[in-house]
Chain A
Amino acid sequence: MGETILQVKNLCTVLDLSSGTVPVVNDVSFDVGVGETLGIVGESGSGKSMTALSIMQVLPKPIGRIASGQILLEGTDLVGMSNQQMGQIRGREIGMILQDPHTSLNPVFTVGNQVIEALEINNPGTARKTLRAHAIDALKKVNVADAERRIDAYPHQMSGGMKQRVVGAIAIAGAPKVIIADEPTTALDVTIQLQYLQLLRDIQDETGTAIIFITHDLGIVANLCHRLVVMYGGKIVESGTVADVFGAPSHPYTEALLKSVPSVDQKLDRLYAIDGQPPALISDRVGCSFAPRCPYALDICRNQVPQESDALSGAKSHRASCWNMERTT
């Protein structure tokens, strides 16, 4: 893959709740390169969405804030930037696609209006007519059929899949270096999802945009992403290329997650299930946050937070945080 374009270093994001300050992203580090798709996998409470919000600096105010760490976009640290400076970055260098297509678009403006607005931010001073032509092209690029007519449609006149494509058009309007997609296909039908993933692949092939794809769906990760990080309880528990992680899952959570996905290839009698449930937001846990549910937990796991080390595949880039990768009992 190409050179690194976004680097997250030791990011710690917290929520200042009335019951205390709670870490939701706990010392998270990863990077994405040009033309690469990085998957962030996790369930509710894992911190994956908060990580995305942190990068875009759109944490819920006033309770959310970045406590420490760096977010380097081509070397420039985004943490601590003023709202105005971030405004220049958002929508231009970093584009965002969120989960719910129905609330991502402003219902009182036409679709064309919203795309034009996005284009205008990046081409200030351009004539309206030119922008409109660009907008039609943008819609065509994301495979919105009948773009010349659709440009004047309102969001509620479009299906979820089409709306999500318009959101995609807006996201790429600024020729961003990185697109952050937070579960963009979860609300879409499965055949529409397929179209959408192909669209993202095409965009990436054409422009070299890096994509950070946040999801809980391992099937998507297997088919779309080059590398992934697995998050649990606010921390990254495993990271590496998709081939390495899927081939030799080193953290028990990754292993359990892969095993518990019901197979489409054969009829099973019973599914592999992980006991218990993902940790709630507020937990003063000592030791590994997965220990209560881990079938391989040792005493040390309950007392000390695991250090990151080389994982089972042997590849340099494959890392996991587990005391018991050998699975001793």
Chain B
Amino acid sequence: MMAPPILEVSDLTRHFTIPHGLLGRQEHIVRAVDKVGFSLEHGQTLALVGESGCGKTTLARMLLKLLTPTSGTVKIEGKDVGTMSKAEIRQFRTNVQAVFQDPWASLSPRMRVFDIVAETLVINDNLTKGELTRRVDEALIAVGLRPDQAKNYPHEFSGGQRQRVAIASAIIAKPKLIILDEPVSALDVSIRSQIMNLFKDLQDDVGCSYVIVAHDLGTTRFMADRIAVMYLGKLVEIGPTDDMFDAPCHPYTQALLSAALPLRVGKAHEAIVLRGEVPSPVNPPTGCPFHPRCQSVLGEICKTSPPAPKELGSQNHIMSCHIDV
């Protein structure tokens, strides 16, 4: 029997209600994440790509059990996260970890690096001081830092080094799935490659899976095996990386990819410039959420009926669009 995928998301939805009107009586419903479904196999990386208001951050928080879904399920190795027992949740916490975007806000300024890195083990396991030190040293070395740096405070490190500390604290419990929320966006360009190589190396060594939220497409291409494109809370296209980059099918995916400016000089870059603003999730357009800006909009059908997901040729390449491909 095949092992269940490390991550399985079905019909995941999260609504926020915003009070509105004179006395806050009326409510606006913000469909931050709307019926999103996908799965991720062990040792693979899925990228969540999209712009502001697409819901990728909300989705990431639900995967980490920091936010409760309004409906739908998140399953880690086949077990529904929403119905876990206390013991299972402890296990979950060691299995699913995160690295966040801002290296300056990720680490508590009042804690030494040792305590920051050891935290997951301290909370969930019962190790002796000696064992704990050994594990912390191991984690620090794995991320390219030195064990003697464990006694320092975060403000003594640079941005890239702080991110390494955050990564060390994420990997120390040997998690099976790590959620990376824009892990390198706040770092200098010349540091990003170091950190990304580190992620790849860790994956090769340990076999962990990643869900990476990123807006930089080069990073995405480098890290991801599969890419999920989100727009206004909906999953508009998901498929293998190479397919998505070489032959994107959904108009939004095409526009998004064309917005990545290549380093080629000389040949004018054919970019699809979308009209208008990214609409607010408070007042999403009717029908297909992308239709007001879509460069290939078909007409009435896009305005009135939300497109259903359909499978395209190769493995697990799904898109929600009325266009026939």
Q: Which residues of A contact B (CB under 8 A)?
A: 43-44, 145, 159-162, 189-195, 198, 216-220, 222-223, 242-243, 246-247, 256-258, 260-275, 277-278, 280
Contact = CB atoms under 8 A, between A and B. Distances in A.
Contacts of A268: 222
Interface of B: 51-52, 158-161, 188-194, 196-197, 200, 215-219, 221-222, 241-242, 245, 255-266, 269, 271, 273-274, 276-278, 280
A120 to B, nearest CB: 28
Given A261-B189, A262-B193, A191 B274 contact: yes
A246 B265 contact: yes
A195 to B, nearest CB: 6
A270 B262 contact: no
Contacts, number: 133
Report, nearest first, the 3 A-B pairs whose CB atoms are least far apart: A219-B261, A262-B218, A189-B51
Contacts of A271: 192-193, 196-197, 222
A191 B196 contact: no
A62 B196 CA distance: 40
A243 B160 CA distance: 31
B241 A219 contact: no
B159 to A, nearest CB: 8
A216 B191 CA distance: 12
A194 B271 contact: yes
Given A193-B259, A246-B265, 7 more contacts: A44-B188, A195-B274, A260-B192, A264-B257, A272-B193, A274-B194, A275-B194
A264 B245 contact: yes
A218 B263 contact: yes
Nearest to A158: B277
Contacts of B194: 273-275
Given A216-B188, A223-B261, A243 B266 contact: yes
Contacts of A257: 189-190
Contacts of A274: 190, 193-194
Contacts of A162: 277
A277 B262 contact: no
